[in-house]
Amino acid sequence: MRFPPVDRPVAPIISPAYSTEAERDRHREAERVMNRLGVTPGMRVADIGAGDGYYTVRLAKRLGHGATIYAEDVSQPYLDRLAARLTHEGVAGVTLVHGTPADPRLPEQSVDLALLAHMYHEIEHPYEFLYRLRPALSPSGRVAVIDNDKPTREHGTPPVLLRCELGAVGYRQIDFLSLAPADGYLAVFARPEVVPRPEAIQPCRR
């Protein structure tokens, strides 16, 4: 299968965390995001680009006993750090997944919500990644992207560009919220009814 290359800079991976957890919690970032997304026990969630697991541990707390959470990342050393953290903090119910820059490698129909926090601009092959993410979503599945409204080379994604790139693979935006005074925004997309053939995907221009 041939996917179009992305026509914009891709930010390099530089860290397993965005900002500090204390600073993010000062603005109740995760709590507000989970409230807006209606995260409640029984929902199956993937934390994509989980890094140090800012969202993973807060999702586990919210979803409680019997939670289904996938914490996915392309970096094995970051996944090893996260595994150690989860053990240390006694967090259960998390399956770690080693993905690739073009494939999150999640099981079919395994999640109701895929959360991509401060990582979209680092995905090297976004069209292929989004195409391969789709089968992992349940029919009512959603993709939630948290990012800064900055150029991708500065570790953000302008919301118009994000909507265009997800739209090119059939994802439809259904919600948008500025997270101020926390950093960035939350953009939510519905699972595509149908996906275009890879060769038919129209890449977005900057």
Ligand X SMILES: C[S@@+](CC[C@H](N)C(=O)[O-])C[C@H]1O[C@@H](n2cnc3c(N)ncnc32)[C@H](O)[C@@H]1O
Where does this chain bind ligand X (CB under 6 A)?
A: 13, 15-18, 48-51, 54-55, 72-75, 78, 99, 101, 117-119, 122-123, 129
Work out how close the CB of 166 gets to ligand X at its nearest, in angstroms, rounded to a whole number. 15
Closer residue to ligand X, CB minimum distance, 54 or 131:
54
The answer to whether the peptide bond before residue 159 is cis (omega within 30 degrees of 0) is: no
Distances (CA, A) of 152 to 5, 8, 43: 15, 8, 31
Question: Which is closer to ligand X, CB of 156 or CB of 192?
Answer: 156
**Measured from the CB of residue 117, what is the shortest distance to ligand X in angstroms?**
4
Considering the complex, state which of residue 10 and residue 139 has its C-beta at the smaller distance from ligand X: 10
Q: Where are the alpha helices (DSSP H) in the chain?
A: 21-26, 29-37, 54-63, 76-89, 126-133, 159-168
Q: Which is nearer to ligand X, 3 or 78 (CB)?
A: 78
Taking the complex as a whole, the smallest distance from the CB of residue 92 to ligand X amounts, in Å, to 20
Please give the backbone phi and psi of residue 27, each rounded to the nearest 5 degrees, phi first: -100, 10
What is the DSSP annotation of 1-14? ---PPPBS--PPP-
Shortest distance, CB of residue 163 to ligand X, whole angstroms? 19
